[in-house]
Amino acid sequence: LDALRTGYPRKEWNGGYVRELRPSVLMLESGYIFDIDGRRCFSFGGAQSHDIEGGILDPVQFRRKSDYKGRRDSLAHSGKSYRIHGISWWPKEMPSEEDMERGLRELLQNGNRVDFIFSHDAPSYVYLALGFTPGKLNGYFEQIKNTVQYKGWFFGHLHENRSFEGKDFLLYEQIIRIN
């Protein structure tokens, strides 16, 4: 994740900033509205890990490699999900306040109207519908849901394929054509 933010060239593209991973593969930065094929698309990445009941292991904190391996094996055998610092979890997994403020400002400057919203995480009401507890970022998205007019919102953090209210789509393995 940190490599995406620092290891690839940042450039302006279609109304916002992107990281160029390859000439034909771009990572849209959070909080910008992009003009993509004549459609106004709001992009916002990041999410809080919800599958870390066993904690976050940091290999650097263990004195011996065998201690780290033992703790990891113990968590795996207990069935508790966990993440590994720098491999499957990063401190900057959540967007910054600056990203969130920029996102609201961009939306307001565009009359709180876009065609599509692409985010990793979902508004609070989706979490509640699925029996999860929403967090700060979900509240931010709920605010956007209640103030922005859009045709479709696409997110995937919860790893299911479902639609909500006919225009909000939780996608995991499904592909949807948008117009």
Confidence check: pLDDT of 3 > 70:
no
Nearest to 162 by CA among 124, 126, 133, 116: 126
Check residue 2 and give its pLDDT.
57
- Bridge partners for 39 per DSSP: 36
Confidence check: pLDDT of 1 > 60:
no
Q: Which residue type, as a one-letter code, is found at position 41? A: C
Higher pLDDT, 85 or 53: 85
Contact criterion met (CB below 8 Å) for 86 and 173: no
Using alpha carbons, list the distances in angstroms from residue 25 to 18, 76, 159. Answer: 10, 35, 23
Alpha carbon distance 140, 136 (integer Å): 6
Split at pLDDT 50, 70, 90, the class of 36 is: very high
State phi, psi for 63 to the nearest 5 degrees. Answer: -70, -40
Split at pLDDT 50, 70, 90, the class of 5 is: low
Confidence check: pLDDT of 28 > 70:
yes
Contacts of residue 167, defined as CB under 8 A and 6 or more positions apart, other chains included, come to 150, 151, 152, 153
Alpha carbon distance 5, 145 (integer Å): 27
Query: How many other C-beta atoms are found inside a 10 Å radius of the C-beta of residue 8?
Result: 16
Split at pLDDT 50, 70, 90, the class of 53 is: confident
Higher pLDDT, 178 or 168: 168
Split at pLDDT 50, 70, 90, the class of 167 is: very high
Confidence check: pLDDT of 166 > 80:
yes
Nearest to 19 by CA among 58, 54, 52, 45: 45
Give me the long-range contacts of 171-177 (CB less than 8 A, separation at least 24). none
Its pTM stands at 0.82
Q: Which of 30-34, 66-70, 138-142, 175-179 has the lowest mean pLDDT?
A: 66-70
Q: Which residue type, as a one-letter code, is found at position 139? A: G
SS3 145: helix
SS3 9: coil
Q: Percent of the chain beyond pLDDT 70? A: 95
Query: What is the overall mean pLDDT for the chain?
Result: 89
